Amino acid sequence: MTGYLEGILVVLCINAVLGYAAYLPLSIGQINLGIAGFMAIGAYTSAIVTNELGFPLILGLFSAIAVAAVAAALIAYPVLRTTGIYLAFATFALNEIVRSLFLNIELVGGAAGYPVAVYSGILFPALVAAVVTLLMVYSGATRAHIVLASVRRDEAVSDLFGVNIRLVQLIVFVVSAGLAAAGGSLYAHYFSFIEAQHFTVFLSITTILYVVVGGTRSVWGPIVGALIYTFLPELLRDSGEWRFVIFSALIIAFIAFRPEGIVAPWPSGPGSLVARWVGRSR
């Protein structure tokens, strides 16, 4: 395999794992802009325990997930008291706090960045992405899927039928953080160098965007989104400067005409997309 192709495939694996981190909050109607922050926690944790403590790769991954999950559980109480746009702001702030923390920790090189000694190759990220995907697809066939969809649609009714909304939100927040951290760990060990500047809110937003394009109502949505997000810019490489414009226009078109994403039932009959769009804006 050429280095170029291998690089793209690893990015695809990382994007898929990150995609699921964004998908979970979206599946209950939450926008969590702190994903890149938890990714940073995962990347740095994994780098530190392998560099400084001599942990093997797999323990680096588990440490990353554990530390991010505990951090998420600790911060969940104030963050999850907010809803809607305020939750987006709160997680935005969280992301920037985490990023500036790493920017100022001497042990990990501060702004100069932090080299990661243990290198993963492609097999490890591929395996992790496969396991994450399988687990998510499995969970999509369980009752959890029904509960998440119901919480997104109508919290009050879900509550009346016995769903513990706070608990669901907490679990989603913590699992999402753990997945983002797994993505961070994969990133650190493939690219062998991490710097706090990489983990901006912009990265969280981009992740959310491609998951929205893929679809937030099916567990396959993040995979399709990650595929598009990873390969489309490469396919458009010949269009030079324009490729990002084309890509952005595509995202806008999706959000306008197809907010449920690619993986969801498509309306049949010509013109029905437009008809539905017009119908929605009543």
DSSP 249: H
Q: Are 69 and 177 in contact (CB under 8 A)?
A: yes
CB of 152 to other proteins, least distance (A): 8
Of the pair 162, 270, the CB lying nearest other proteins is at 162
Residue 50 CA to residue 44 CA, distance in Å, equals 10
Query: Which residues are at the interface with other proteins (CB under 8 A)?
Result: 138, 140-147, 149-150, 153-154, 156-165, 217, 260, 264-265
Q: Which is nearer to other proteins, 132 or 186 (CB)?
A: 132
- Whichever of 64 and 174 has its CB closer to other proteins, that residue is 174
- Which amino acid, 218? S
Min CB(7)–other proteins separation in Å: 35
What's the rounded Cα separation, in Å, for the pair 81 and 87? 8
Go through 56-68 and write b for each residue having 16 or more CB atoms within 10 A of its CB, e for each that does not: ebeebbbbbbebb
- Nearest approach, Cβ of residue 266 and other proteins (Å): 13
**With respect to other proteins, which residue has the nearer C-beta, 101 or 264?**
264
Is there a contact between 163 and 147 (Cβ–Cβ < 8 Å)?
Answer: yes
Q: Work out how close the CB of 159 gets to other proteins at its nearest, in angstroms, rounded to a whole number.
A: 5
Q: How far is the CB of 163 from other proteins (least distance, A)?
A: 5
Minimum separation from the CB atom of position 161 to other proteins (A): 5
Q: Is 163 left (phi over 0), alpha (psi -120 to 50) or beta?
A: beta
Q: 123 or 156: whose CB is closer to other proteins?
A: 156
Cα dihedral angle (20, 26, 31, 34), rounded to 10 degrees? -20
Nearest residue (CB) to other proteins, 86 versus 277: 277
Minimum CB distance to other proteins smaller for 149 or for 236: 149
Taking the complex as a whole, the smallest distance from the CB of residue 258 to other proteins amounts, in Å, to 14
CA distance linking residue 172 with residue 180, whole number of Å: 12
How many Cα atoms occupy the beta-carbon half-sphere of 61 within 13 Å? 20
Helices (H), the chain: 3-27, 35-51, 57-79, 84-103, 123-139, 143-153, 155-160, 165-191, 201-214, 221-235, 242-257, 272-280
